[in-house]
Amino acid sequence: MENTKSWEPKILAFLCNWCSYAGADLAGTSRNQYPPNIRVIRVPCSGRVNPLFILKALQGGIDGVLVSGCHPGDCHYLTGNYIGRRKSATFKRFLEYLGIEEGRVQFSWVSAAEGVKFSQVITEVTNDIRKLGPAKRLVKKSEELGVRSFPDP
């Protein structure tokens, strides 16, 4: 994986069931091309995405995370994406403040009718992550799994 020639970014996409997931479906049925680097997790709503999910993904060696939901006003649960938007805004800023690269974690609104936009978003995100290179921060390395000595104060 460290070999950059053969390295392909692994991107985790949290797609909301009602809009973005259907948007991805439409992109597929319309034969819109987009990079094969995303792994999709279907969530009921973009507001369901706990910031812990994002951290857990980064810890597990995912190179980029995309959270995508319905456009404002279109939420199936009326206000889920508004709540999600506040979480995303604060969490994204906080991660960047800590030194996680800008662009590792991204957000988008994709409706069920926007198959073309979906493939564009995925292409953009994949290109961004490719530029950033493999994730190094927060990643749990296999050698860390051993017992560590007690640190000096």
Partner 1 sequence: MREKAEELLAKKAVDLIIGFGEGSLPLRATPLFIRTPEEADQLIWNSFCDNNLATYLHKFNRFKIGIVVKGCDARSVTALALEKRFQPDQVVLIGVPCQRMVDRRKVKKAAKGEILRSREEGELIIIEGDGFKSSLKRDDFLYTSCKACLHRNPVQANILVGEPVQESGLAEAYPDAREFENMAPEERWRFFEKETRRCIRCYACREACPMCYCAECFVDSSIPKWIEKGLSPSDLQFYHVVRAYHQTGRCTACGACERACPMEIPLVYLTQKLNQEVSELFDFEAGADSKRLPPLSTYDVEDKQEFIK
Which residue ranges make up the site for partner 1 (CB under 8 A)?
51-52, 55-56, 59, 72-73, 79, 82-83, 85-102, 106-109, 121, 124-125, 137-141, 144-145, 147-148, 150-151, 153
Report in angstroms how near the CB of residue 28 gets to partner 1 at its nearest: 19
How many whole angstroms separate alpha carbon 50 and alpha carbon 113? 26
Angle at 34 between CA 29 and CA 36, to 5 degrees: 100
Report in angstroms how near the CB of residue 86 gets to partner 1 at its nearest: 6
End-to-end CA separation in angstroms for the chain: 35
Nearer to partner 1, 14 or 107 (CB): 107
Nearer to partner 1, 93 or 131 (CB): 93
Query: Encoding tokens for residue 96?
Result: 């960047």
